[in-house]
């Protein structure tokens, strides 16, 4: 496996069969620690057998299984997990292995970092979204009243182990959802990476290990420079101010949209805003929109009241005072953060999305 250094813990990319995870858990530091695997019904069926095949040290691990989906990412489910650990008399010396997507790694890290003031945890992300984004960077947390990641903290994983073979277990929609975070990294930091993604037709041909590594490298570079999101790390919010609002509105109203699809919508809207105020060219705006529509299609948001979406955006963690704060693009590969955007322009960007008609590249 290839090791990628990060201020928030080492990230290993490659096959679990190489043995690094088993070696770590068999070391003097972890060998006598009780081990707990947090997972959902999907990773229990499709990923746990592979993990156990390659990591003998987990053969006697306790399993903590929750229901899959964003609806489970709540304090109430955390309380159930804390209770299960306490009932099992789990000490501060345990280690929690988070096996799953972003919900599992976000919430598992939060549960571990708060149980008895903090126990060790290791992330084994199994979705593309978790591998390139959610499991790396030190953010842990849960939603509050469907508002994304309102409760949480920064906490360092002992390590993250990324095996792209897990991506073969994903439904197509889950893979595509994670692809949104891949292209986000290219948009905010690396135009050559964007060109490589297009040249490889990654959305159709599938992800490669080098693509996963490059996305992780981009995120690691940003979070190393700004571990606690005081400045540069806000770049990673591109597409998320509007995307999170749409995702939350859908959850509040009984419908479900995968995170990456909402972020894709957000990236179109926020690219439009970028064209209006930070200099993104019309040609690059069209290039972004064409590719996103080709891969993700379009959501019908025509019936969602714009005022309700804007109210949700006012809860975004990166706002300053009463301003709604956006990360935008000067050009593909160059993101800029701390851009206050007026409500009228936000509404205009949503109208642009609803009416967009672009030729598919």
Structural domain containing residue 343? 172-355
Please indicate, yes or no, whether residues 176 and 322 belong to a single structural domain of this protein. yes
Q: Could you give the C-alpha distances from 61 to 32, 78, 184, in angstroms and in order?
A: 12, 19, 36
Residues labelled as active-site residues: 117, 139, 181, 219, 229, 233, 237, 240, 244, 259
Listed residues 107, 138, 169: the one ending a domain: 169
pLDDT band at residue 359 under the 50/70/90 scheme: low
- The residues facing 262 across adjacent strands are none
> Strand 2-4 vs strand 325-331: parallel, antiparallel, or unpaired?
unpaired
CATH of the domain at 332: 1.20.1090.10
Task: Give domain status of residue 361, yes or no.
Answer: no
Q: Within a domain: residue 360?
A: no
* Same-domain check for residues 31 and 95: yes
Per the structure, how many domains does the chain have?
Answer: 2
Helix (H, G, I), strand (E, B) or coil at 316: coil
Say whether both 135 and 196 belong to one domain: no
Give domain status of residue 134, yes or no. yes
Could you say which of 106, 137, 169 is where a domain stops?
A: 169
DSSP 184: H
Phi, psi (deg, nearest 5) at residue 2: -95, 130
> Are 39 and 177 in a shared domain?
no
Reported as a single tens digit per residue, the pLDDT across 101-152 is 999 999 999 999 999 999 999 999 999 999 999 999 999 999 999 899 999 9
Instruction: Please indicate, yes or no, whether residues 155 and 221 belong to a single structural domain of this protein.
Output: no
Q: Is the pLDDT of residue 360 over 80?
A: no
Same structural domain for residues 114 and 13?
yes
| Terminal-residue alpha carbon distance, the chain | 36
Q: Are residues 318 and 184 in the same domain?
A: yes
Structure tokens at 131: 């591998």
Are 232 and 287 a contacting pair, CB within 8 Å?
Answer: no
Q: What is the pLDDT, as a whole number, of residue 361?
A: 37
Residues 322 and 184 in one domain: yes
Query: In terms of domains, do 72 and 129 share one?
Result: yes
Choose one of 119, 139, 169: the last residue of a domain.
Answer: 169
Whether 63 and 74 map to the same domain: the answer is yes
Same domain, 255 and 303: yes
Tell me the per-residue pLDDT of 278-325, one tens digit each, with 9 for 90 and over.
999 999 999 999 999 999 999 999 999 999 999 999 987 777 777 999
**237, part of any domain:** yes
The pTM assigned to this predicted structure is 0.94
**188 in the same domain as 50:** no
The span from the CA of 23 to the CA of 331, in Å, is 44
Res. 358 pLDDT band, cuts 50 70 90: low
Separation CA 282–CA 105 (nearest Å): 38
């Amino acid at each position: 496996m290839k090791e990628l250094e990060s201020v928030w813990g080492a990230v290993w990319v490659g096959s679990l069969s190489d043995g690094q995870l088993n070696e770590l858990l068999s070391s003097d530091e972890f060998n006598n620690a009780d081990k707990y695997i947090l997972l959902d019904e999907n990773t229990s069926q499709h990923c746990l057998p592979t993990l156990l095949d390659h990591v003998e040290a987990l053969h006697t691990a306790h399993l903590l299984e929750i229901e899959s989906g964003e609806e489970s990412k709540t304090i109430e489910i955390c309380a159930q997990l804390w209770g299960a650990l306490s009932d099992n008399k789990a000490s501060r010396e345990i280690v929690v292995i988070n096996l799953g997507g972003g919900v599992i790694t976000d919430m598992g890290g939060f549960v571990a970092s708060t149980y008895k003031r903090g126990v060790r945890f290791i992330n084994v992300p199994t979705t593309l979204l978790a591998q390139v984004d959610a499991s790396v960077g030190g953010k842990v947390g849960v939603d509050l009243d469907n508002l994304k990641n309102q409760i949480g903290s920064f906490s360092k994983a002992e390590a993250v182990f990324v095996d792209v073979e897990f991506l073969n277990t994903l439904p197509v929609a889950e893979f595509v959802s994670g692809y949104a975070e891949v292209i986000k990294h290219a948009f905010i930091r690396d135009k050559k990476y964007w060109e490589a993604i297009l040249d490889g037709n990654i959305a159709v041909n599938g992800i490669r290990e080098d693509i996963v590594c490059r996305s992780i490298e981009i995120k690691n570079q940003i979070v190393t420079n700004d571990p606690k999101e005081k400045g540069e790390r806000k770049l990673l919010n591109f597409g998320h101010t509007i995307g999170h609002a749409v995702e939350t509105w859908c959850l509040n109203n009984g419908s479900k949209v995968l995170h990456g699809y909402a972020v894709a919508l957000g990236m179109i809207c926020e690219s439009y805003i970028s064209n209006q105020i930070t200099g993104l060219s019309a040609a690059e705006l069209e290039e972004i929109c064409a590719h996103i529509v080709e891969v993700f299609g379009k959501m019908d948001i025509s019936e969602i009241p714009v005022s309700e979406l804007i109210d949700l955006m006012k809860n975004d963690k990166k706002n300053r005072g009463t301003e709604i704060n956006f990360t935008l693009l000067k050009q593909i590969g160059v993101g800029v953060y701390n851009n206050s955007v007026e409500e009228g322009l936000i509404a205009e960007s949503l109208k642009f999305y609803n009416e967009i008609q672009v030729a598919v590249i």
